[in-house]
Amino acid sequence: MRADDESGQRPSPWTVRAAAAVAALGVAALAAGGLWWRTTTTDSALAYGRLRDTVTVQARQDIVVLTSLDTAKLEPGLEAWQSVSTGVLHDQLAAMPDTQKKLLTDSRATTTGKVIDAVVSELDDHAGTGLVLAAVELTVVAKDGTSSVKRNRYKADVQLDGGRWKLAQLQQVAVNAS
């Protein structure tokens, strides 16, 4: 059986060599791509990027918890706050005085936080600490049923606690109106 083209003639030796060279380049490119992919999937920068993503997701969820409270269900709300906090913040929430709890219950307000955007601006994976900046929309429903929407910016210190990133501090950041 002959390797003839459509015209019935054999391809020239140059055509055969060119096709072989193109095939060899294709194989080399495929091998290089595979090597590059393998290198990047085990790269420490990729692992650090995944950690940043984990911290961002966890901080977003925890900020929602700490900026939301239904005062009709105060104790479960306070327990939720404590579950996402660590350090001094956790201690302050756990030691909330009864007078403050009564003020919250008497307000009969419900606040729901929604993180609009968040970014990890600092992260020290060795120390287990970081800083997250977040834009949060707060919807407050007063006891008379009226609602209002507020937009705030927050700075959240995060800390690794028992294998989970938690909020060590949450502070509202002033917005310069100039």
Q: What is the pLDDT of residue 6?
A: 62
The pLDDT value recorded for residue 35 is 81
Q: Does residue 122 form part of some domain?
A: yes
pLDDT score for 178 = 60
Distance in angstroms (rounded) separating the CA atoms of residues 149 and 140: 6
Digitized pLDDT (tens) for each residue of the chain, 178 residues in all: 455 556 667 878 888 888 888 888 888 888 888 887 776 666 777 888 899 999 999 999 999 999 999 999 999 999 999 999 999 999 999 999 999 999 999 999 999 999 999 999 999 999 999 999 999 999 999 999 999 999 999 999 999 999 999 999 999 998 776 6
Measured N-to-C along each axis, helices 87-94 and 74-83 cross at an angle, to the nearest 10 degrees, of 160
- 157 lies in some domain: yes
Q: How far apart are CA 13 and CA 24, in angstroms?
A: 16
Find the domain containing 82 and state its range: 57-173
Answer yes or no: is 23 within a domain. Answer: no
**What pLDDT score does 38 carry?**
73
| Domain annotation covers residue 129 | yes
CATH number assigned to the domain comprising residue 109: 3.10.450.50
pLDDT of residue 2: 52
pLDDT at 174: 87
pLDDT value of residue 163: 93
In a domain, 113, yes or no: yes
pLDDT (0 to 100) of residue 1: 47
First to last CA, the chain: 84
- The verdict on residue 41 lying in a domain is no
- Look at residue 83 and tell me if it is in a domain: yes
The rounded distance, in Å, linking the Cα atoms of 53 and 48 is 9
Q: Is residue 77 part of a domain?
A: yes
Domain tally for the chain? 1
